[in-house]
Amino acid sequence: MREKMQRVNLSTVSEFVFVGLSDAPEIRLLLFVLFLLLYLATMAGNLTLLVAISTDSHLHSPMYFFLGNLSLLDLLCPTITVPKMLGALLLEHKKISFSACLFQHFSLIAVVGTEILLLAVMAYDRYVAVCHPLRYPSIMSTKLCAQLAAGTWATGLLNSLLHTSLVFTLSFCGPNKIQQYYCDIPPVLVLSCSSTHSRELVILAVAGVLGSSACVVTVVSYICILLEILARNSPGIWHKAFSTCGSHLTVVCLFYGTTICTYVRPSFTYSPHRDRVVSMLYGMLTPLLNPIIYSLRNKEVKCALERVISYVRRALAGQENIAQSPPSAG
């Protein structure tokens, strides 16, 4: 018994190794360029939206306040996972320490959980704006908006703390190859050498309640919006509403569907190849699409961006004029 405990202690995992997306150098280089371009485009889109919302007073409303929070989450989500993946593709740096894996896992689950709840809050905000326009300013007050945003972030962090503590207090004393390009719940759970059944039940219950509740609020809000618009009997408004709500629901369903598919299921159903594709959809594609779907098609945002660009050009032109002006005679 003592010898067995010593062997277990000696073989306790201190680092994990990611299984790469491909072993072929040519494919790795192609994937590196592709994911780098996607990452840069995601950063540019969400940063641009954040700058426009924070600097333009015309966008200081509840809807754009929540959009700003969404853009911040969409900056954080790929930043937590993509740089490490790019390093593995280009330099084959596939190892990650136990503590770094824990931090990556905590950060990602916090961001994903917060975004799930925030999308529900945003759907409710649109429901109040469309179905109760006269009461909208009093219902969606500054105080309530701040409380809703703080509540989503706090709940996301607490949810992540629970999930991370359940996963990383398990024993890891055997294989250390993670069948994924980042530290996620399903591929880490399968590496544990202790029983995970009871902890999986808790994870499934918590994730199921939060995910299904947010999904129900979002779907019901959009159904009420569509019913309200149909009742107005205006084909022009119908077309615009279906176009807007349809694009919103497409991205929301993509995000909800992929995250629920990843986290609300037993670990024995884990499929490395399928889960890599699914995780890329919510980890890379939706952060890229959100600023386009929610904002860059919006006339107010376009006008705000034009004002920001015009201001930056004037500032740069002023700096050039100062640099080119001759020094005054003493």
Q: What pLDDT digit, counting tens, does each position of 90-132 carry?
A: 877 788 898 999 999 999 999 999 999 999 999 999 899 888 8
Q: Label residue 20 by pLDDT band (50, 70, 90).
A: low
Q: Which amino acid is at 259?
A: T
Q: How many CB atoms lie within 10 A of CB 163?
A: 22
Q: What are phi and psi of 95, to 5 degrees?
A: -90, 150
Would you call 170 exposed, middle or buried from its count of C-beta atoms within 10 A (0-12, 13-18, 19+)?
middle
Cα–Cα distance, 22 to 45 (Å, whole number): 29
Q: Label residue 292 by pLDDT band (50, 70, 90).
A: confident
Q: Which one, of 214, 208, 258, 250, lies nearest residue 122 by Cα?
A: 214
The domains found in the chain, sorted by start residue, are 24-264+271-300 (1.20.1070.10)
Judged against a pLDDT cut of 70, whether residue 73 lies above it is answered with yes
| Mean per-residue pLDDT of the chain | 82
Quick one: which H or E segment has residue 83? helix 62-91
Task: Say if residues 108 and 96 touch (Cβ distance below 8 Å).
Answer: no
Judged against a pLDDT cut of 60, whether residue 317 lies above it is answered with yes
Q: Label residue 4 by pLDDT band (50, 70, 90).
A: very low
The vertex-213 CA angle with 208 and 214, nearest 5°, equals 105
Please write the tens of the pLDDT for every residue from 22-62. Answer: 666 778 888 899 999 999 999 998 998 888 888 888 788 89
Q: Label residue 299 by pLDDT band (50, 70, 90).
A: confident
Quick one: which H or E segment has residue 177? strand 177-178
Cα–Cα distance, 258 to 280 (Å, whole number): 9
SS3 173: coil
- The pTM (predicted TM-score) of the whole model is 0.84
Please write the tens of the pLDDT for every residue from 228-279. Answer: 888 877 666 666 666 667 767 777 888 888 887 777 776 666 676 777 777 8
